[in-house]
Amino acid sequence: MKVKSPLEVYQLLPKTNCGECGEPTCMAFASKLINRDAKLEDCIPLVKEDEEGYNKLAELLAPEVKEITIGVGERAVKIGGDDVLYRHQLTFFNPTALFYDVWDTMDMDELKERVSEIENFRKFYVGEFLTLDGIAIRSVSGDPEKFKETVKEVVEITDLPLVLCSFDPSVLKAGMEVASDRNPLIYGANKENWKEVLELVMKYDVPVTLCSFGDLNLLKSMAITFRGAGVEKLVLDPGTFPSGEKLRETFHNFLKLRRGAILEGQKEIAYPLMGVPATAWLVYEDELSASYWEAVLASLMIVKYGDILILHGTQPHSLLAEVHIRETIYTDPRTPVQVEAGIREIGEPDENSPVFVTTNFALTYYTVESDLSSNGIDCYLAVVNTDGIGVEAAVAGGQLTAQKIKETLDEFDFSKLSHRTVVIPGLAARVQGELEDLTGLKVFVGPQDSGRIPGWMEKNWPPEK
């Protein structure tokens, strides 16, 4: 994106504040465009009356790295589309897409079971479910008919986005015959097959991965050729070498490509990058080492700068690491992850139940809520609005004060309890006295870690009268 501030965008809008875009002013619309919360085509006057101005602004607003869509409908995933090298500069927009493999030598029951495992994976984390994005279908047999049969079966049982994997154009062609309407990503074109793959991609207008393992000049040259033929939906795979000196080279290649795209404006390499951490399974013989190193590679590539990864292992110790690091990296640093403040009931509290205090930082809230509910502690939870900041930082920064806790507790009817006590987090101990003065309540200091609440309860609850 070549424009960096709402003011720059505003200068190029009609400046009539007509409201047709749904925003009260052109400046408000400009702010949304910068944050990618609005689409330029929603400015109807610009679209209808100033084609040149529209095209100019569209060009200026386009992300440095091209955004590519794989799949169709609600399950389609977007990859790429980034403008910055470091997330604190703006944010990373499209989370790294995680595709897990199936292969055409699996028997049908095994295939169905694995597709179902990938499709149904869910991990609740900070208020939402982490899921996987798609399925990479590998041709292991080399037989076009066998591949076609496998692709057909997968298409019938899931609407997840697909990657069709083979370097044999006849195999890819067979897969496309049954999956072309799903906008799959073709994997891939290399220096041997690029002509046939280019033809296939042009025929079906689908995205394609260009592969040149360890040779960035060749990768760039292929990208120029495909662009010259009018094919712009490109993904680049510079090769994933899972161990030794080549692993270092892999990492450097990802850095070089992304820096070239964003800092040097090299349009021919400004495309999403693909990593294949599944290559760990080619060099490590035992399952534990392979899955461990696959997760290490995936983590490395999620941080810098893999936009789509092909993975194999679905063991919880690797899967959970992969989805968690992705969630962490792609959380918008400008927006604290928070939940609504107020009083919650956990379980079935009664007049003898304790009242705990916590903050509305989502990670804190869900950790405390989970520790309480999983231990069967029926209680009330007073969630204080700390602007999404955790307990220790909020106490230090003044977002969690005795006054703010009091304001939250004012919503609660203590007359329904047999006691007048609250329990504040151990890390907020310093507000205890002031909170007692402000509320007239007895304030207990709980443990610093909510995982220790059950032990704390055994010693301190019910309170002495």
Distance of closest approach, residue 91 Cβ to ligand SF4, in angstroms: 23
- Token output for 379: 């209680």
Q: Which stretch binds ligand SF4 (CB under 6 A): 41-49, 201-209, 397-405, 447-455?
A: 41-49
Sign of CA dihedral 391, 394, 395, 399: negative
Q: By CB under 6 A, is residue 132 in contact with ligand SF4?
A: no
- Token output for 231: 């094919």
Classify residue 125 by burial, with Cβ atoms within 10 Å: 0-12, 13-18, 19+: middle
DSSP β-bridge partners for residue 361: 338
Q: Which stretch binds ligand SF4 (CB under 6 A): 17-25, 54-62, 177-185, 211-219?
A: 17-25
- Token output for 313: 């292992």
Q: How far apart are CA 260 and CA 252, in angstroms?
A: 12
- Token output for 403: 């006054």
Nearest-CA neighbor of 310 among 66, 63, 65, 103? 103
- Of the pair 45, 426, the CB lying nearest ligand SF4 is at 45
Which of 6, 9, 12, 29 binds ligand SF4 (CB under 6 A)? It is 29
Q: By CB under 6 A, is residue 17 in contact with ligand SF4?
A: yes
Distance of closest approach, residue 48 Cβ to ligand SF4, in angstroms: 10
Residues 43-62 that bind ligand SF4 (CB under 6 A): 43-46
- Of the pair 14, 463, the CB lying nearest ligand SF4 is at 14
Which of 18, 72, 108, 282 binds ligand SF4 (CB under 6 A)? It is 18
Q: Which stretch binds ligand SF4 (CB under 6 A): 10-18, 84-92, 259-267, 387-395?
A: 10-18
Q: What DSSP string describes 250-291?
A: HHHHHHHHHHHHHTS--GGG-S-BEE-GGGHHHH--SHHHHH
- Of the pair 55, 105, the CB lying nearest ligand SF4 is at 55
Residues 213-242 that bind ligand SF4 (CB under 6 A): none
DSSP β-bridge partners for residue 137: 102, 164
Distance of closest approach, residue 37 Cβ to ligand SF4, in angstroms: 13
Q: By CB under 6 A, is residue 367 in contact with ligand SF4?
A: no
Using DSSP's 3-state secondary structure scheme, residue 198 falls into: helix
Distance of closest approach, residue 78 Cβ to ligand SF4, in angstroms: 24
* DSSP 8-state symbol, 86: S
Residue at 197: amino acid letter: V
Q: By CB under 6 A, is residue 10 in contact with ligand SF4?
A: no
Residues lying near ligand SF4 in the complex (CB under 6 A): 13-14, 16-21, 23, 26, 29, 43-46
